[in-house]
Amino acid sequence: MNNLEPQINLLIPLYNEEEVFDKLIERLSKVMEASPLSIKVIMIDDGSLDNTAELMRKVSLQDDRFTSIFLSRNFGHQIALTAGLDYVDATEAVMILDGDLQDPPELIEDFYPYLKKGYDVIYAVRKKRKESFFKIIAYKVFYKVLKRISKLEIPVDSGDFSLISRRVVNDMIRMREESRFLRGMRNWVGYKQIGVEYEREERQEGDSKYTIRKLLSLALNGIFNFSEYPIKFISNLGILTVTVSLVYLIYTLIKKIFFGVVPEGFTGTIIVIILFGGVQLISIGILGEYILRIFFQVKNRPLYLVKSHIKNKEEHGSAIL
C-alpha cells in the first residue's frame, strides 16, 4: 500500500475492546485485501482502560492501512465518532461501524454501488434485532416518538452503521453541536439517502459498552436536539389547564352567587395543588434540558481532546499511553 489518500475510510470507535481486537483486525485485513477499492481504517480509542490502546498502537506502527487516534479520556461513542470524522482522509466515502463486529465490514461491497448510483447516505437497516425483549420494545417506542415529534426520518432498525459520501462527511464536520445524535445529523443533511437491509450479528467478544445510562442520554439527545415538541407541549398543557380552571371558576362563582353554595372539599384542593406542583416541576425540567444544552454549547469547549495519533506508521503527539 502507498501513502496516498484512500477512496474509503472505515471509522471504528473502540472502548475496552481488547477481547475482540484481534478478530477485528483479521476481518478488516481480509476485507481490504479482497476489495478492489482502496480502503484505510481509522480507529478511535475512546479512553479505553484495558489493553486496547496498546494493541491499536502496535498494529498502526506496523501497518499503514490502520490509523489510530487516542482520545485523552472516555468521551462516549458519539464523540469518538466525531473525532474520527475530523481525521477522515478518504476521497469518496466513509463507512461507520462498531468495533465488536456486529456490523459486518464486508458490507462495504454491498453499500458502495449505491454511492455510484448517486446516493450520499447508505444506512444499514437490521432485519431483526438479536437483543433482549425489553431493548427491542424500548427502541421501537423511542423511534416512533422521535418520528412523531421531530422532522427526522430515522427508521426503527437503523443505527450509526452506514456509508456516507465525502461531502456528507464535510457537512457533518461543520456541525459542532455539543450534544450529538449522529444518525439524526446524518438524516438532517438531506441529499439522497437509502436504507439497505442486513443481518446484524451478535457481538463477537466482550460485553456491550453502552450502559443503559449512555443509551438513555443518547435518546434524550435525539429528542431535545431535534424537536421543539417538548416546549410546545408545556405551552399546550398551560393553555389546557387555564381553560379548565376558567370553566371551573365560572361554575363555582355561579353556584356561590345564585345558590349560595360555598365549595368545600379539602381533599380536592390538596390533589390539585400536588398535581400542579408536579406539572410545574416537570415543565421546569423540560426547560432545563434545553438550557443545559445551551449552557454546554456556549462554553464552546473542544468536543474532545486527542492524546496522540498514529498515521502512516508515524506517531504524533505524546506517546505515553
* Least spacing, CB of residue 51 vs ligand UDP, in Å: 14
* Least spacing, CB of residue 70 vs ligand UDP, in Å: 12
* Least spacing, CB of residue 209 vs ligand UDP, in Å: 3
Q: Which does 6 bind (CB under 5 to 8 A by kind): ligand UDP, Mg ion, none?
A: none
By CB under 6 A, the residues from 210 to 229 that bind ligand UDP are 210
* Least spacing, CB of residue 222 vs ligand UDP, in Å: 14
Residues forming beta bridges with residue 158, ordered by sequence position = 125
- Is residue 121 within 8 Å of 168, Cβ to Cβ? yes
- Could you tell me which stretch among 106-114, 171-179, 202-210, 269-277 binds ligand UDP (CB under 6 A)? 202-210
* Least spacing, CB of residue 278 vs ligand UDP, in Å: 33
- Could you tell me which stretch among 12-20, 105-113, 148-156, 164-172 binds ligand UDP (CB under 6 A)? 12-20
- Is residue 99 within 8 Å of 12, Cβ to Cβ? yes
List the one residue from 17, 18, 120, 171 that touches ligand UDP (CB under 6 A): 17
Q: For residues 269 and 115, what is the distance between their CA atoms, to the nearest angstrom?
A: 64
> 54 is written with which cell numbers?
496498546
Q: For residues 267 and 311, what is the distance between their CA atoms, to the nearest angstrom?
A: 70
Q: For residues 217 and 228, what is the distance between their CA atoms, to the nearest angstrom?
A: 17
Owner of C-alpha cell 450479528: 201
160 binds Mg ion (CB under 5 A): no
By CB under 6 A, the residues from 41 to 70 that bind ligand UDP are 46
CA dihedral for 249, 253, 255, 256, sign (positive or negative) = positive
- Is residue 163 within 8 Å of 93, Cβ to Cβ? yes
Query: Which residues have C-beta within 8 Å of that of residue 38, sequence separation ≥ 6?
Result: 1, 4, 6, 7, 8
**Shorter beta-carbon distance to ligand UDP: residue 100 or 120:** 100
> 32 is written with which cell numbers?
481490504
68 binds Mg ion (CB under 5 A): no
166 binds ligand UDP (CB under 6 A): no
- Burial code (b: 16+ CB inside 10 Å, e: under 16) for 222-247 equals bbbbbbebbeeebeeeeeeeeeeeee
**Shorter beta-carbon distance to Mg ion: residue 102 or 225:** 102
74 binds ligand UDP (CB under 6 A): yes
Please give the residue ranges that form the binding site for ligand UDP (CB under 6 A): 13-15, 17, 46, 74, 76-77, 80, 98-100, 102, 203, 208-210
